[in-house]
Structures are given as C-alpha cells and as structure tokens.
Amino acid sequence: MDSQDIPGLPKDAVLLRIYTSERKTFGHAPLFEAIVTKALEMGLAGATVLRGPLGYGHSSRIHTAKILDLSNDLPVVIEIAESQARIDAFLPVLDGMIGKGLVTLEKIQVLHYGPRAG
C-alpha cells in the first residue's frame, strides 16, 4: 500500500487557480461557469468559484463592488484541488477556453476528502 493510500495521512495534490472576471465568456456562458462545467465533465474532484469584492489585473483598472457600473465585472477566482495527473489532463482544455489570463498551480497536501468513517 502506497503512503498516499493510508487513511488519515496527507495526500499530495495540486491546487489550480484561475483568475478571471464575471464578464468574460466562453461561448454563451460566463467563463467561470464553463470552466466548472468542463471540470465536472472531466471528473475532477470539485471546483469552487470565489467572487472578489475588489481587485485589478494586467489592465491596472480597479474592479470594485462600490462602483455601480463596474459591479457586474468583479474579479472571480476558480479553485480546483486534484491530483497532478488529472490537472495535467485538464490544462490543455483550460488553455483553449481562457485565451489569456492568469493561472497558477501550487503543490498542496489534502488531509481529508469525502465522508468520514464512523
């Protein structure tokens, strides 16, 4: 049995973060929804979309919930924690969806996933 399979021990994984905005689209859907849908279709463990109340990117333009006309273009971060192999398989698909943007990867250790025994 590999140490990665022993219950209670941390498991190596990768955290994929995709930085985008609410207004970016893929086809007729918001980009963040399209990414989460594709991750689900490909069987990734899960995805979380985080909406930011304030941020700026390469344009150096501040996006904030305080300015009424910009409040529908807030920063969005999609996080997916998964094995390196499954993230590697997802990246070419993601590349075809986002065009340009910031994507980060970091090594993590997952302590628990799924229902606890008992």
pLDDT of residue 53: 79
Q: What is the pTM of this model?
A: 0.82
pLDDT of residue 60: 76
Architecture per CATH, domain 10-110, reads as 2-Layer Sandwich (3.30)
Q: What is the pLDDT of residues 67-106, one digit of tens each?
A: 555 567 789 999 999 999 999 999 999 999 998 889 999 9
- CA 100, 98, 35: angle at the middle one, nearest 5? 155
pLDDT of residue 78: 98
Q: What is the pLDDT of residues 7-52, one digit of tens each?
A: 667 899 999 999 999 999 999 999 999 999 999 999 999 999 999 8
Q: Could you tell me whether strands 54-55 and 102-110 are parallel, antiparallel, or unpaired per DSSP bridges?
A: unpaired
Quote the tokens at residue 17: 């973060």
Q: Say if residue 103 is exposed, middle or buried (CB neighbours under 10 Å; 0-12, 13-18, 19+).
A: middle
pLDDT of residue 67: 55
Sketch the domain layout of the chain as residue ranges. 10-110
pLDDT tops 60 at residue 57: yes
Torsion of CA 113, 116, 117, 118, to 10 degrees: 180
What's the Cα-to-Cα distance from 44 to each of 23, 30, 53, 90, 94, rounded to whole Å?
Answer: 25, 19, 27, 9, 13
